Amino acid sequence: MLLMTAVHLSRTDAAAASAFARAHYPVLAQWADYLAANALDPGYQNQTDDFTGFIAHSANLALKGILALGAMARIATAAGRAADAAHYRATAEQYIAQWVGKAQDGRHLRLAYDQPGTWSLKYNGYPDALLGLGLVPAAVAAEEAAWYATQANPYGIPLDDRHSYTKADWEMWTAAWLRGHPVSGRLVQALHDFVHTTPSRVPFTDWYDTVSDRQSGFQARPVVGGVFALLSLGAAGR
C-alpha cells in the first residue's frame, strides 16, 4: 500500500498529491512504523509467492519492506512533513546496508538470510526503479543480474533454486528493475518464447515451468499486467 501510494502521488499534480497524503497520513505512518520495527528481518510467515510456503528471514520480503520505507519518505514529503521524510529515508538507507550484508552469499543474494547456497529472483527491486528511490546499490543489482544469467533455462529464470517454475509477471518486474543489464532482454525473450511455444493452450498463465514449457498453475489473472513493468519506467527510464 505504501509503494502504490507513492507511485500514485508521483503521477498526481502537487496539490492533489499533498491533499491525498495528508488525508491518509495517520494510517500510512502506522504501516510505515510497523515496517520500521519488522521489515529488516521478517519472521516466519507467508509472503507474496505464497504457493512456495512459509519462510523466515526472507531477503526478498525484507527488500519490499525497506523500499516501502523509502516510499514513505516520499509520502511524508508530499504531506509537508520534512522531519518524518528524513527519518524514513534514513531508516531505509540504514536497513538496505544491513540487508546487503545479511543476504550476501558470495556471487549473489540468498533466498533467506539463514540459507547459504540459495538464491531467488529479487523481483521486489522493481519499485526501486519505478520510484527512482536509488536504495539498492548499483553493484548489488549488477551482481544479481550476472547471477540470474547463469541460472537461465530455455523458457525463463526460475523464481528460486527450489523449483524450475517461475512467475511471468515477476520475471518482468525483475527485467524492469535490471533494465540496462543484458539479463533484462533475456527475460523478455524467454517469456516471449514460452508464450509462443507452450503446449498449454490456456489464457495467459503467470505460473509456468521454465524447462518443460508448460503451465504450472493459474491463468487469466490480473497480475499479468506485470508484463508492462518495463513500459512503466517511461521511455527514458528511471
Which H helix or E strand runs over 27?
helix 25-38
Which CA distances in Å does 83 have to 67, 77, 78, 233, 235? 18, 9, 12, 29, 34
Residues 139-170: tens digit of each pLDDT: 999 999 999 999 999 999 999 999 999 999 99
Residues 36-61: tens digit of each pLDDT: 999 999 998 877 777 777 899 999 99
Residues 47-105: tens digit of each pLDDT: 777 777 789 999 999 999 999 999 999 999 999 999 999 999 999 999 999 999 999 99
pLDDT at res. 236: 46
| 92 CB-near residues (< 8 Å, 6+ apart) | 66, 67, 69, 70, 73, 133, 135
Which CA distances in Å does 61 have to 50, 173, 179, 205? 12, 15, 21, 23
Cβ distance 154 to 191 under 8 Å?
no
Cβ distance 205 to 217 under 8 Å?
yes
Answer whether residue 237 shows pLDDT above 70: no
pLDDT tier, 238 (very low <50, low <70, confident <90, very high otherwise) = low
Cell output for 220: 487469466
Going 138 to 139 to 142 to 147, the CA torsion angle's sign is: negative
Cell output for 7: 507511485
Average pLDDT, the chain: 96
Integer Cα distance of 96 and 112 in angstroms? 15
End-to-end CA distance of the chain: 21
Residues 177-227: tens digit of each pLDDT: 999 999 999 999 999 999 999 999 999 999 999 999 999 999 999 999 999
Its pTM stands at: 0.95
